[in-house]
Amino acid sequence: MALRFIDGFDHYAIPSQIPLKYTSYNDSGGSSGITTTTGRRSGSTALLFRTSADFIGLTFDPQSTWIIGFGLYMLSTETTELLRFTDEAGTIQGALSIGNDGTIRVYRSSVTSGTLLATSTNALPILTWNYIEVKLTVADSGGNWEVRVNESTWINFTGDTKQSATLSTVARIQVWGRGSDNAIDDLYVCDSTGSTNNTFLGDVRVDTVRPIGAGNYSEFSKVGSASNWDNLDDTTLDSDSTYNHSNTVGQRDTLDCGNLPAITGTIFGVQVNMAARKDDAGGRTLRSLTRVSGNDYEGDSQNVGTDYRVYRQIIEKNPDTTAAWTESEINGAEFGYKVQA
């Protein structure tokens, strides 16, 4: 796997449900806290930071190379941190900022106390969306920072990008707010493993579809609505107001989801998002279930905790063809979940 995470910020309440999907965050709250704004496309949502104290973060297995991309909208320019890459021991390996002149700057270690490695010649304009992509490889001498804006390379630095004395990896990635408002949308994260999606994806969009009808399986018991699919079609997650439940190993639900908007270009993958919790002691595991052309394909086993979290499964290729997904294949597929153990 190389595609590790995507978010269009369209399927959960912001900021209250950020911790369901992200492993770390800070929200100052009130009029200075994280909120939402209009996204890059009509009808879409973006996450809006309103202070440099706030961030969202993801924790992964340690890798030496990571790629992250997202749409960025800035109201003004000022020298503050935008991205931070930290190893599993807590050492900041690298960071990226945007200066008060709009130039992009990359550092070994932190923005405040690290070594400035490179500065872009071009400057980001304000009050417009730009798509930012960053690839960091951590190494003593063969490390690399590459930064692209709207698919054009602005920085390509090779040299010492390793701050840690012992580790050449990154395990945590954070996106930070700035002193004045900045919004992000259409976020993706990749590593460099595997044979696909292991480098820049380009200016991408993340579309959210929700259940609109029953699939082949409706085996869970339902609470709150007349049908299993109707319990799961909420615009934002509604906790225990409407839900499906089962303690029977092997039981499944699959759902017919709405059609994607018309797509031109490559579909890099599908991410199934499952908000779930268990209600008692003892182990419980969940798997995603994808049904294509009458065939069932299961995802990885995921251990479920007692508080709601969004468990995700990336499916980079159509499991029935092992080729890239097409729009019609996704529209015709069913997506759901299964009690594994």
> Which domain CATH number covers 182?
2.60.120.200
Tokens of 40: 């890059």
Q: What domain count does the chain have?
A: 2
Residues 180, 228: one domain?
Answer: no
Global confidence as pTM = 0.96
Model pLDDT for residues 144-191, shown as the tens digit of each residue: 999 999 999 999 999 999 999 999 999 999 999 987 789 999 999 999
Q: Which residue has the tokens 């059609």?
A: 259
Whole-number pLDDT of residue 8: 97
**Contact (CB, 8 A) for 150 and 130:** yes
Residues 133 and 241 in one domain: no
pLDDT in the model for residue 7: 98
| Domain stop point among 191, 224, 253 | 191
- Say whether both 165 and 224 belong to one domain: no
Helix intervals (H) in the chain:
18-21, 327-332
What CATH number should be reported for the domain holding residue 310?
Answer: 2.60.120
Specify whether the CB–CB gap between 164 and 115 falls below 8 A: no
Containing domain of residue 19, as a range?
3-191
Encoded tokens for 155: 């920085």
Output Rg (C-alpha) for the chain, integer angstroms. Answer: 21
Domain annotation covers residue 335 = yes
Instruction: Mark whether 231 and 173 lie in a shared domain.
Output: no
**Cα atoms in the 13 Å half-sphere on the side-chain side of 326:** 7
pLDDT digits (tens, 9 = 90+) for 251-266: 999 999 999 999 989 9
Distance CA 65, CA 170 (A): 8
